Chains A and B, each alone.
Chain A
Amino acid sequence: SQQGEEDPQALSIQEGENATMNCSYKTSINNLQWYRQNSGRGLVHLILIRSNEREKHSGRLRVTLDTSKKSSSLLITASRAADTASYFCATIGFPGRRALTFGSGTRLQVQP
């Protein structure tokens, strides 16, 4: 079963615009990770944020985590056509568990 939902399910923007995706989860977590998947291929790890962190940056990516609301957001700034992909959040709970529980994903389309 899915840990949570992602919002929106699909997002279409123009190149250069920012894209924001939201993720909600249901249970306590150890960390939350964001992955990208291009057209039915494997997942590419983007960023990991620990449960005691509130914000993290990596290049054009900014992730926030609100454990009180059990939610996270991924912001991609100055989007490019190459950012077109599906984006998934995934969580790992406690204790010592390694199984990722994925959200339903957001399909991002960046128009050139």
Chain B
Amino acid sequence: EAGVTQSPTHLIKTRGQQATLRCSPISGHTSVYWYQQALGLGLQFLLWYDEGEERNRGNFPPRFSGRQFPNYSSELNVNALELEDSALYLCASSYGTGGKSNQPQHFGDGTRLSIL
């Protein structure tokens, strides 16, 4: 079974640009989660999508947005990039809201976003 895949592995941008990160969940999983791991700030929840809808959002500004496609893959978009957006962005997937609430999230290897 293929795991969660993320692309690209690394992304280098400059301040003010826009970045798009992609995630493909494990087959059968309908929920996709995005997390940011920034140096000194730890792992923080960004967004949760299920069945194409945004279900929950962390404490991040609106320039962090995303979407989930009919095949359950997802994109995270970050507009007007700032230096502090430099971080490892992790995507995870799990079964959706119709499934058990007590289930693990399975993570991809992340996209390392560097802002110059």
Contact = CB atoms under 8 A, between A and B. Distances in A.
Interface of A: 1-2, 30-31, 33, 35, 40-45, 48, 50, 88, 90, 92, 96-105
A2 B33 contact: no
Contacts of B45: 99-101
A98 B55 contact: yes
Contacts of B103: 48
Interface string B24-53: 000000010101000000111100101000
B94 interface: yes
B109 interface: yes
Interface of B: 4, 31, 33, 35, 42-45, 48, 50, 55-56, 58-59, 88, 90, 92, 94, 97, 101-110, 112
Nearest to B31: A98
A105 B44 CA distance: 13
Output the residue of B43, B103, B112 with the most chain A CB within 10 A. Answer: B43
Nearest to B109: A42
A99 B101 CA distance: 11
B107 A2 contact: no
